[in-house]
Amino acid sequence: MKNRMIGNLPKIGIRPVIDGREKGVRESLEKQTMNMARAAAQLIEKNLRFPSGEKAECVIAETTIGGVAEAAKCSDLFRREGVGVSLTVTPCWCYGTEVMDTDTLVPKAIWGFNGTERPGAVYLAAALAGYNQKGLPAFGIYGRDVQDAGDTSVPGDVKDKILLFARAGLAVAMMRDKTYLSLGYTSMGIAGSMVDPDFFQKYLGMRTEFVDMTEILRRIEQEIYDKEEYEKALKWTKEKCAEGPDPNNDPSDRERKDWEWEIVVKMTLIMRDLMIGNPKLAEAGFGEEALGRNAIAGGFQGQRQWTDYYPNGDFPEAILNSSFDWNGIREAFVFATENDSLNGVSMLFGHLLTNTAQIFSDVRTYWSPVSVKRVTGVAPAGKAANGFIHLINSGSTTLDATARQRDTNGNPVMKPFWEITPEEVDQCLEATQWCPGNKEYFRGGGFSSQFRTAGEMPVTMSRINLIGGLGPALQIAEGWTVELPDEIHKLLDQRTDPTWPTTWFVPRTGGNGPFRDVYSVMAAWGANHGAISHGHIGRDLITLASMLRIPVCMHNVDEATLFRPAAWNAFGSNPEGADYRACENFGPLYGTK
């Protein structure tokens, strides 16, 4: 469990603010206020981890904060400690703007204690009014039920909001000053692969680095990779990655296929090294290449300039996006096929919020019950009864999506890497075949992963799109993977490309607009790709998007559970419209409106 990015992981700062009047008032509140801070820190540190497996760490101000001087001391401490998220707590009245956190780039929230002895709720309202007036959006946390003054517990609804805020805030902080690595540029005219540096910088605080695909070829030909690791990786690949049926009428001979395996394994090493560097390269005399790009996410153009000539990127993309490789179980990378950077960002959001590997898929086909019955002679049942969406794509789909990992109740899941067992890794690999690339698509050959997502899992599909005149907008659809009967799966899967991995997806429907039915979800989806994360995390994505000032144009999350900054309440009673107006008003987190 080690952070592979340059720099320390961000910390969460806890600010215990207090009524500054001494000689009785302040002294009577010191213990209770600091206990609130300690309780919040304990809650966060017990429950939150980074994708690298390390536990979240909190920094509590050295003293309670009763005025401007102590607020400045706390701010200085937070800068020195690398705090990226700020939570203010108090049980009492405080001097609103005098004790506030004014860092414009740090997500912030205030927990005001719901008690009758002291007016924590009054301070919370006054403080949020001050933050709103100064254009510093902050989240308000206030328990539903009144607590006694001596109650040091954290109510369940308060816990929920603190953790929701902290998870999203850490995701914001982790992206800042990191890189999106674009290997190549636009793939087949896909708008998402026209990487927009302004979007990354203004909304995410990220760099964009562009490396031509010839750099991969150079490193292959000049052997700029760890040769010892390459031999280990190739041996593991031959043992663990079974070759599947060849779909081509003119299949390549064994010598060519063996060469293609060698190339795609080298590509995997090189793409990883380009993202995060490799000290082994410095030992071999390649100091510049050893540094990497500090890339928290990346993508590979591939089609068509590379894949018309060289083996495709399906193997390196799938292995990078999985929670394991020849070195063992480790944090999954975020790597987009066809260099669809917007889907890559959507995958990154899911990875940072859940610590799990992410699925990259084409949102390929809506299958209505009528169409399924006509083609297969069998009507779909269960969650699939009202139709489903075929998620399928060569490339970046993680092998974790085979759904061979299990929770304590035996249910199929996708887990953080530190919970995955070696037996589950083997099962994921055994459920996957690597079919020679379809030469109609990939003239240069390569190998595509072939599997079917097993069982029923809760998942969330999301996608950021850039809209001319508007900017980014986020789409979210919570739902489930479903496992179709073999007689249905085989017939439907054969109609597309059976050499690619398939996930059958049913969004939760029954609402209005795009969630009237499954067809409406498919029809409203704004791009050809979707990023799919384990779990129902729509609420987390909405909170994260509000921190970045990205409006959400489509979701099926219960509006009563939404958690956005308090300022959003001032932009109208309709949550979706208010979200758009608030995001436009405040502008991107790291840029201008």
Instruction: Give the residue numbers annotated as catalytic, written as ranges.
Output: 338, 362
- What pLDDT band is residue 472 in, cutting at 50, 70 and 90? very high
Regarding predicted confidence, which is higher, 137 or 497?
137
Amino acid type, 238: K
CB distance 196 to 168 below 8 Å = no
Phi/psi class of residue 493: alpha, beta or left (left: φ > 0; alpha: ψ in -120 to 50)?
A: alpha
Chain mean pLDDT for the chain: 96
CB distance 481 to 503 below 8 Å = yes
Is the link from the previous residue into 79 a cis peptide, with omega within 30 of 0? Answer: no
According to DSSP, the β-strands at 529-534 and 458-467 are: antiparallel
CB distance 206 to 176 below 8 Å = yes
CB distance 527 to 190 below 8 Å = no
The predicted-structure confidence for 286-307, as pLDDT tens digits, reads as follows 999 999 999 999 999 999 999 9
Identify the DSSP state of 470.
Answer: T
The predicted-structure confidence for 86-110, as pLDDT tens digits, reads as follows 999 999 989 989 999 999 999 999 9
3-class secondary-structure state, position 466 = strand
Predicted confidence at residue 349, as pLDDT, reads: 98
The predicted-structure confidence for 432-443, as pLDDT tens digits, reads as follows 999 999 999 999
The predicted-structure confidence for 370-404, as pLDDT tens digits, reads as follows 999 999 999 999 999 999 999 999 888 999 999 99
Q: Which residue is listed with tokens 């795609």?
A: 264
- What pLDDT band is residue 593 in, cutting at 50, 70 and 90? low
| % of the chain surpassing 90 pLDDT | 93
Residue 147, beta-bridge partner list: 115
pTM (2 decimals)?
0.97
Any idea what the Cα angle at residue 212 is, between residues 308 and 199, rounded to 5°?
110
Q: Is the pLDDT of residue 502 over 80?
A: yes
The predicted-structure confidence for 518-528, as pLDDT tens digits, reads as follows 999 999 999 99
**DSSP-H helix ranges across 241-368:** 254-276, 279-283, 314-320, 341-354
d(C-alpha 189, C-alpha 438), whole Å: 21
Q: Is the pLDDT of residue 498 over 90?
A: no
156-175 and 25-47 helices cross at what angle (nearest 10)? Answer: 70
d(C-alpha 162, C-alpha 181), whole Å: 33
And the tokens for 228?
A: 């010892």
214-221 and 254-276 helices cross at what angle (nearest 10)? Answer: 110
Which residue in 255, 397, 256 sits closest to 315, CA to CA?
397
Q: Is the pLDDT of residue 56 over 70?
A: yes
Radius of gyration, CA atoms only, the chain: 25
- What pLDDT band is residue 82 in, cutting at 50, 70 and 90? very high
And the tokens for 343?
A: 């889907």
Sign of the torsion formed by the C-alpha atoms of 299, 304, 305 and 308: positive
What element of type H or E holds 375? helix 369-376
